[in-house]
Structure 1
């Protein structure tokens, strides 16, 4: 195996999705006003989004985020993304185009921050965070945050897991089967004449 290849073949390892969009941003020395990042996924990234999320097509994926310092060493990421995707209807399998537009916001803190407390629980390391605010901050390692991976996690959450064509309910297939096997009431009336 090549030294650069980080694939592990261990029975205990679980399949981990490789993100379609990589956009690492060094956050150790952010300006006070922060920085603005714009992402427009290219064809290769859109094809990987299709593969990662079980879609028929990703026509576009664009994001506009602002990254700014938070408290002493933390980072706030705030912005939005929008995407044009095509999914298959879970009932008819017809292509369903959909526009997704989501606001995103999160706070990140470095793994060595005093806000992070590590505790051993059932032989696994769990991170317990004690911080202000309604949302629990995410922990980052090293000097950078992959904004692409962060956005792709929100993208995954915004996709309808059971898309249905308008007007189609769960009985659609059963109704189609009945139409094939049961004669209509009008056909029965004709036979009685």
Structure 2
């Protein structure tokens, strides 16, 4: 099962479309699995989709609660995740589509991202919400308060300490 919310480009002819998106429990479970989460207890997004050049601009915010496994204690825990969505997309063949050799693309960190190129005449708004959620999830989750405390066992010496004792007869 996938979660999608396709919107045809011609539906924007009358102006911006505001959407409140919230997947069903089974859809959240599928999204959570796809993102490598233990679970996805909550996900909502409020977005505005409006015409941009001959394509679309999607802006808005999402909020989620993700359940992950702590990398230190291996205990499951939930944490809130939220973020902003700002994406532009154009149909294939559009004058606004990126051109040139993508292997030799110059990056300008201050310039806006190049628009995505759509495969057909619709945009999957929910797909962009999931993509932005994936970018905000901590890849190395740590449960609040979890600490890494390690002290080597008593009496265990390193091979170098043994060599130092051989070199110094008093040691």
Q: Show CA shifts across 1:99-135 (max 9, x none).
A: 111111111111111123554678xxx999xxxx622
| Structure 2 residue aligned with 1:136 | 114
- Structure 2 gap segments, 5+ residues each: 156-171
Give the stretch that moved more between structures: 109-118 or 61-70: 109-118
| Structure 1 residue aligned with 2:154 | 182
1:97, CA displacement in angstroms?
1.1
* Shift in alpha-carbon separation, 1:82–1:121, aligned structure 2, 3 A: closer
How many angstroms apart in 1 are the aligned matches of 2:102 and 2:16? Answer: 37
Is it true that 1:79 corresponds to 2:68 in the alignment? no
Contact kept, 8 Å, 1:80 with 1:102, in 2: the verdict is: yes
Match of 1:48 among 30, 37, 58: 30
* Shift in alpha-carbon separation, 1:59–1:141, aligned structure 2, 3 A: same
CA RMSD of superposed structures (Å): 2.5
How many angstroms apart in 2 are the aligned matches of 1:158 and 1:83? Answer: 10
Match of 2:21 among 27, 39, 57: 39
**Secondary structure of residue in 2 paired with 1:182:** coil
Is it true that 1:108 corresponds to 2:80 in the alignment? no
* Shift in alpha-carbon separation, 1:82–1:20, aligned structure 2, 3 A: farther
Is it true that 1:157 corresponds to 2:139 in the alignment? no
Q: Show CA shifts across 1:24-79 (max 9, x none).
A: 111134134311111111111111122111111111111111110112x1211011
How many angstroms apart in 1 are the aligned matches of 2:60 and 2:2? Answer: 19
* Shift in alpha-carbon separation, 1:117–1:59, aligned structure 2, 3 A: closer
Contact kept, 8 Å, 2:82 with 2:133, in 1: the verdict is: no
| Structure 2 residue aligned with 1:98 | 79
Is it true that 1:58 corresponds to 2:30 in the alignment? no
How many pairs does the alignment contain? Answer: 151
TM-score, normalising length: structure 2 = 0.77
How many angstroms apart in 1 are the aligned matches of 2:146 and 2:61? Answer: 31
- Structure 1 gap segments, 5+ residues each: 1-18, 184-193
How many angstroms apart in 2 are the aligned matches of 1:151 and 1:110? Answer: 19
| Structure 1 residue aligned with 2:162 | none
